[in-house]
Structures are given as C-alpha cells and as structure tokens.
Structure 1
C-alpha cells in the first residue's frame, strides 16, 4: 500500500460573499460547515488540521494568501478531486447557488516531510 497523499486545501473567499446580506452569509457558513464535514467523512481521508486567518486578513482572497487551509492525508488522487467537488455541489440557502459562488479551493498535493533524526 502506498503512503497517503499529504494535501493542503487552500480556500479563498470570493467577493460575492463580501457583497452578501447577513442572511446570505449565514447560509454560506452553513454550507461551508457541510463542506468541512463532508471532507472529513470521505473514506480514508484524515484531516490533520484547519487554519483560518480571517482575523488578520480582511476582504476576499482571490489568490494566496488564502483565507483558510485544511491539511489532510488522502488515500488517492480521486479523494482529493471528491473533496474539491464539494464546492461545486453543496447548495447554499435555497440551493439556487452552490458554494463555489462564494468560495474557491485549490489543492496542493505533496508528501509528508519527516524531520531528520
């Protein structure tokens, strides 16, 4: 069995979120929570940590630095694609729009780097 892929999901908030009403923002947060739970429930995926820098970064993040990051070990490339696909499929509010209207994701795939002894 091969080693899992070490993946950093880099998540940026779009201007559409910033332009939303308080109610729309609440709906986006609920969809965002569903996305995080869905990634955690993917078979073989282990979330190692989640970091949010929204307190020191204000406004949308169309490129790096991103708004938040999820680091996970994923069993294979398809599981990484499945995780990214949640942004395309998870509905926000009444379902007219999906999460990717408000947030974007980019996955960086690497390997675990072990500190030499």
Structure 2
C-alpha cells in the first residue's frame, strides 16, 4: 500500500473593500486575525507550507474578483478536507470584539493540483 500523495494547494487571498473602509487605528485586529489564520495553517497536521507571497507593496487597494490576488500561500495538504478546513478559517476566526469574522475583510479561493515535474537540466 502506498502513502497518499499530498495535494499541492495555492490559497489565493484577496483583501476586501471593507478592510480599506476601516479607520487606520482599527486595522490591527484584522492583522491579528490574519496572523491567526497563517499560524493555524502552518500548524495543521500533515500540512507543509512551501511559501508565501504578498503583493501589497505594488498592488494598492482591493483585489479584483479574480487574479491578481493580494497574497498567496502555497502548501502541500494531506487531503481535500484539510484544504476545506483551512478555507473555513475565514468563517470562524473572529476579528476584534465586534462579532465579525475574517471573511468580512478578506476572501480566499483554493486552487488544488499537483506539483509540476521539474525538467531534467
């Protein structure tokens, strides 16, 4: 019996207009919730984070409905359920004490695939 292959996943994250509508002194709780999301993904059983990419210095403002996204997390997940659980964090992580969740300020889309074999050089 062979071990199941991990699922290469690109988590694409977009910052919503609601984040930019916040007064500057109220963005801290959103950043704290974002760090909780990232920490949780990094510590999920069987997940290996391969890298992150943040486009915030050269992309200012909200992301369009699709590409380009604001930031990305590429990871190997043990199965589809783990990917769903990572996406669900946007529904469950609280931001501050107003009862809001992270999905009010950001959205996520997961792209699932497999590693592209490297060519022999």
For Structure 1 versus Structure 2, the TM-score category normalised by the shorter chain is over 0.9
SS in 2 for 1:100: helix
Rounded Cα–Cα distance in structure 2 between residues aligned with 1:25 and 1:60: 15
**Aligned-partner SS, 1:60:** coil
How many residues in Structure 1 have an aligned counterpart in Structure 2? 117
1:104 to 82, 104, 107: 107
**CA apart distance, 1:24:** 2.2
Give the TM-score normalised by structure 2.
Answer: 0.93
Larger radius of gyration: 2
2:80 counterpart of 1:68 = no
Counterpart of 2:32 in structure 1 is 30
Q: Distance in 2 between matches of 1:91 and 1:113?
A: 36
Q: CA separation in 1, counterparts of 2:37 and 2:95?
A: 11
Unaligned runs of 5+ in 1: none
Partner of 1:57: 59
1:29-72 Cα shifts (integer Å, max 9, x gaps)? 00000000011111100000000000110101142100000000
Listed as ranges, the gaps of 5+ residues in structure 2 are none
RMSD: 0.9
For normalisation by structure 1, the TM-score amounts to 0.96
CA distance in 2 between counterparts of 1:112 and 1:2 reads 14
Rounded Cα–Cα distance in structure 2 between residues aligned with 1:98 and 1:24: 14
Contact 1:87 1:99 in 2 (8 A): yes
Alignment pair present for 1:78 and 2:65: no
